[in-house]
Structure formats: structure tokens, C-alpha cells
Amino acid sequence: MIEFQNVKKSFGDREILKGISFFVSKGEILFILGTSGTGKSVTLKNIVGLLKPSSGNIVVDGEDITQFSEDQLFAIRKKCGMVFQHPALFDSLSVFENVAFGLKRHESLSENEIRDRVHESLELVNISGIDDKLPSEISYGMQKRVSLARTIALRPAVLLFDEPTTGLDPITTNSVNQLIQDLSRKLKTTSLVVSHDMHCALKIADRIIVLDKGQIVDEGSVDEILESQSELVRDFLLEARAGGES
């Protein structure tokens, strides 16, 4: 579904991605782990054309998007739903209006169809009965769910998550992780999750890639990562185990 072929990305003299190659299979949940500043979010932004690689190629759903124009990228962005680190809801709009926003802009649906899609999306993230509430009237964890409902309302083929559990307590973190897994399976989406949380990745990932200083230091299934000899991966694993025991 997504393939990076020797992708490099620089900002001036600073090289962020140093020739990374990987793929994400259709229907797979792939985690990209790494410490801050290793190029995780830059990788996500390249997939939807918010950034363009300095060299190399990016293929999404069989199309090489590397040289796509903004008009061509629009179709790719409709396939890819991006869930940002913060909910980024419209404060003056109700929960219903937030979830319906993209549907009204990008889909030709009747009012009844929009209402049904909004309610279906809210039910998929396990919240209902809050249509008329403003974002300020619900918890941060619920705002995250509304943001996710808004993304899946457009039924993207690919879900891109940028640090989805940052700032959440452990209970809410677990529920968001479970949501990512459940939605990926129910909606048959391909999910790419950028994170620093190995504990989350071990729970729900099909495969894990670990980035360090713009390069892939290890990748594989959960079982393969658990046997990794990479010093950085082993540090991540120690931290995950410590978090699980605390």
C-alpha cells in the first residue's frame, strides 16, 4: 500500500532522512518508533505530500507520488486520513459539526447520509450521545476520539497516526491503542503509527520499524523485535518492560 524507496529528506544542510526504504502492506498495522528528532513525523508528511523528498521515491496504492502536483495529491490525501498528535477540533463547532465537516466539504451526501455517517463514526470510536456538545465540554481523551471519528468518517484506505497517545493517561492510552487496532480490522484500513512508545507497539503492531538519526536500525515482527540486538531497540524494550511493571 505504501513504499519508500531510498528516500532522503534534507532541510538546508541538515539531513533528516538518510535513504530509508520500507513498505506497508495492505491492511497492516506498522509502527515507526524512534526518539525525538529522528524523522518519524517527516516520514508521515512525505506520504501525503506535505513535504517532498529530496531524493528517492514514494509509492502510495501503486502510484509514484514523488513528483505529483497539488491537484494530483488531493486524490492521494482523500485515501489517507491523518490523525494528529493533538485533536485540533474546531472550538466553535459541536461534536456533530466537527465530524461532519470533511463530509460536507469533500463528499456529495444528503443530510440524512451525513447524519448516519457521523453517528456510525462516533459509534466506531465508542462515543455517542454527545452530538451537541462543544469540544471544551468533553475530556481530552474524548476529544481524541472525536478527532479520530472525523478522520474515519471519510472512510480512508490508509490511517496515519502522529504520536496518537501523547499526553494521555495509561488507561486512555490503552483505549486509544485498542481503537487503532479495532478500527484497522473493522474498516480494513492500512495503519501507520508514528510513536516513541514501544509498549504500545508490542501490543498492537503487525510490524515495527525503529528509526535513529534518519536511518532504519531494525525492523520486523513483534517477535523479531523482541530478539533485536540493536542497542537502541533494547533500550526501548527495557523502558517498555519497566512501564508495564509500574
Q: What is the pLDDT along the chain (246 residues), one digit of tens a residue?
A: 999 999 999 999 999 999 999 999 999 999 999 888 888 989 999 999 999 999 999 999 999 999 999 999 988 988 999 888 888 899 999 999 999 999 998 888 999 999 999 999 999 888 988 999 999 999 988 998 999 999 999 999 999 999 888 777 888 888 888 889 998 998 899 999 999 889 889 999 999 999 999 999 999 999 999 999 999 999 989 888 776 554
pLDDT at 228: 94
Q: What is the pLDDT of residue 243?
A: 66
What is the CATH number for 219?
A: 3.40.50.300
**Per-residue pLDDT, 108:** 86
What is the per-residue pLDDT for 246?
A: 45
Identify the domain containing residue 27 by its residue range.
2-245
Q: Tell me, what's the pLDDT at 241?
A: 79
Q: Give backbone dihedrals phi and psi of 19, rounded to 5 degrees, phi first.
A: 85, 60
pLDDT confidence of residue 170: 83
Number of domains the chain contains: 1
Nearest to 81 by CA among 114, 48, 106: 48
The residue among 159, 193, 162 whose CA lies nearest residue 41 is 162
- According to the model, what pLDDT value does residue 117 have? 94
The contacts of residue 222 (CB under 8 Å, 6+ apart) are: 201, 202, 205, 207, 208
What's residue 169's pLDDT? 81
